């Protein structure tokens, strides 16, 4: 038996419970977690913004050590260090055939299966976002693990599985920021901090961080922000004032609220690019009129998982870490136990801190 954070039902409080994991079957591996990041997507699952089967063990951003492998697993052995991949691509659907593995239509099929059972009453549990990382150990398909890169501490390597892939990918793959361009990043959480560092890596000439909390300015500047704006009704005007009344070339929205998306759009220059990373609810409606779409010539794009291919991009990110260009520890503003996850959710709702990291 292992301890895990269980979501009994949508909207219900998380419960720390003992669960019984099966032995790894064919093509599956058992992983002892070193750390798991608390991501806004976990909060979105708990409150019903994202819909997946419950009851479930949440958590999708993690890294650990293989402790057992099932039949047919030949390229991993106990002791191997791995990063969890919560969105494994099938390789056969239409997006995969186009090389857009981040849009794989079958990526979350594993979330519908039975992952484990509660030890107290035998309730069947699903793996939230496939990998159920909010637990001391998990059992996942071999497609849900990737080798942890050398030279990166295993606890911080957990962040590569979501926050860093998403923030880096939003800048480099979706928005395709070029050297000398100006960038605004909305939301200084885990993904936003990764995006700020990535904009600096890309050679952006001016990087404006935007957040509701004045307390995050020092953290944002440490990540690469050259300017800091506290979110308000005048945010777009302030950003234009910082950029010669033009607006930024690129805005990266990491909040998932209609007002933030609209402001990000308004803060980009004519012909600029706005990339939406944040996950908003269906009730968050963003409106534009036909004339402004023509006049401003801006591009608005969604961004799933940073338009990233984990197998391709994690080794690249690790090189940035080893060379000192990417600071994973900077993203972590709190290290907690399983019992601290509900408080971390509350902090996210209140706009506090960067990434909370569950360490085992």
pLDDT, tens digit, 9 for 90 and up, residues 255-277: 999 999 999 999 999 999 999 99
Q: How far is it, in rounded angstroms, from Cα 124 to Cα 221?
A: 45
- Give 51's pLDDT tier (boundaries 50, 70, 90): confident
Q: Mean pLDDT throughout 93-99?
A: 97
Q: What angle do CA 277, 281, 287 make, to 5 degrees?
A: 80
**What is the per-residue pLDDT across 174-232, written as a single tens digit (0 to 9) for each?**
999 999 999 999 999 999 999 999 999 999 999 999 999 999 999 999 999 999 999 99
Residue span(s) of the chain under CATH 3.40.50.720 come to 164-304
Considering the domain 164-304, what is its CATH architecture?
3-Layer(aba) Sandwich (3.40)
Q: If DSSP codes are grouped into helix, strand and coil, which group holds residue 125?
A: strand
15, 159, 181 from 137: Cα distances, Å: 16, 17, 44
Beta strands in 129-219 (DSSP E): 137-141, 145-147, 182-186, 206-211
Q: Which residues contact 108 (CB under 8 A, 6 or more apart)?
A: 52, 87, 129, 130
Using a 10 angstrom Cβ sphere, with 0-12 exposed, 13-18 middle and 19 or more buried, the burial of residue 84 is buried
Res 273: pLDDT: 98
CB 106 within 8 A of CB 88: no
pLDDT of 148 strictly over 90? yes
- Give 50's pLDDT tier (boundaries 50, 70, 90): confident
pLDDT of 349 strictly over 90? no
Res 78: pLDDT: 97
Rounded to 10 degrees, what is the CA torsion of 305, 310, 315, 320? 0
Q: How far is it, in rounded angstroms, from Cα 119 to Cα 100?
A: 40
Beta strands in the chain (DSSP E): 2-7, 15-20, 28-38, 56-57, 61-69, 81-84, 116-118, 124-127, 137-141, 145-147, 182-186, 206-211, 227-230, 248-253, 268-276, 299-302, 332-336, 355-359
Q: If DSSP codes are grouped into helix, strand and coil, which group holds residue 283?
A: coil
DSSP 306-347: GG--HHHHHHHHHHHHHTTS--SGGGEEEEE-GGGHHHHHHH
Fold of 2-160+327-359: Quinone Oxidoreductase; Chain A, domain 1 (3.90.180)
pLDDT of 348 strictly over 90? no
**Average pLDDT along the chain:** 96
Res 354: pLDDT: 87
CB 290 within 8 A of CB 151: no
What kind and span of H or E run contains 46? helix 40-47
Which of 269, 101, 276 is CA-nearest to residue 192? 276
What does pTM read for this prediction? 0.95
- Packing angle of the helix pair 235-242, 258-266 (nearest 10 deg): 30
pLDDT of 352 strictly over 90? no
Residue 144 has which token pair? 């849900």
**What is the per-residue pLDDT across 60-91, written as a single tens digit (0 to 9) for each?**
999 999 999 999 999 999 999 999 999 999 99
Q: Mean pLDDT throughout 9-20?
A: 94
CB 184 within 8 A of CB 239: yes
Q: If DSSP codes are grouped into helix, strand and coil, which group holds residue 2?
A: strand
**What is the per-residue pLDDT across 273-315, written as a single tens digit (0 to 9) for each?**
999 999 988 899 999 999 999 999 999 999 999 999 999 999 9
Residue span(s) of the chain under CATH 3.90.180.10 come to 2-160+327-359
Res 48: pLDDT: 85
């Amino acid at each position: 038996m292992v301890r895990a954070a269980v979501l009994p039902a949508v909207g219900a409080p998380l419960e720390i419970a003992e669960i019984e994991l099966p032995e790894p079957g064919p093509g599956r591996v058992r992983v002892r977690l070193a750390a798991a990041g608390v991501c806004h997507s976990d909060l979105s699952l708990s409150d019903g913004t994202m819909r997946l089967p419950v009851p479930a063990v949440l958590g999708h951003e993690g890294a650990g050590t293989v402790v057992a492998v099932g039949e047919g697993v030949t390229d991993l052995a106990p002791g191997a260090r791995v990063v969890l991949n919560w969105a494994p691509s099938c390789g056969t659907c239409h997006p995969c055939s186009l090389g857009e593995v981040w849009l794989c239509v079958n990526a979350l099929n594993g979330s519908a299966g039975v992952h484990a059972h509660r030890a107290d009453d035998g309730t069947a549990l699903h793996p939230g976002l496939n990998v159920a990382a909010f637990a001391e150990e998990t059992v996942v398909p071999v497609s849900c693990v990737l080798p942890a890169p050398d030279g990166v501490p295993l606890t911080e390597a957990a962040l590569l599985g979501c926050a860093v892939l998403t923030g880096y990918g939003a800048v480099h793959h979706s928005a395709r920021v070029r050297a000398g361009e100006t960038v605004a990043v909305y939301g200084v959480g885990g993904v936003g901090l990764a995006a700020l560092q990535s904009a600096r890596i890309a050679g952006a000439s001016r990087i404006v961080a935007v957040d509701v909390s004045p307390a995050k300015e020092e953290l944002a500047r440490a990540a690469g922000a050259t300017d800091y704006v506290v979110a308000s009704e005048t945010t777009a005007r302030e950003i234009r004032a910082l950029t010669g009344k033009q607006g930024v070339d690129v805005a990266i929205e990491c909040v998932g609220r209609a007002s933030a998306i609209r402001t990000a759009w308004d803060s980009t220059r004519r012909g600029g690019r706005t990339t939406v990373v944040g996950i908003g609810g269906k009730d968050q409606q963003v409106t534009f009129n036909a004339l402004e779409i023509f006049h401003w010539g801006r591009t608005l794009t969604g961004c799933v998982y940073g338009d990233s291919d984990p197998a391709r991009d994690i080794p690249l990110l690790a090189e940035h870490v080893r060379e000192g260009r990417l600071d994973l520890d900077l993203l972590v503003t709190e290290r907690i136990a399983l019992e601290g996850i509900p408080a971390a959710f509350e902090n996210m709702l209140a706009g506090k801190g960067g990434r909370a990291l569950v360490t085992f």
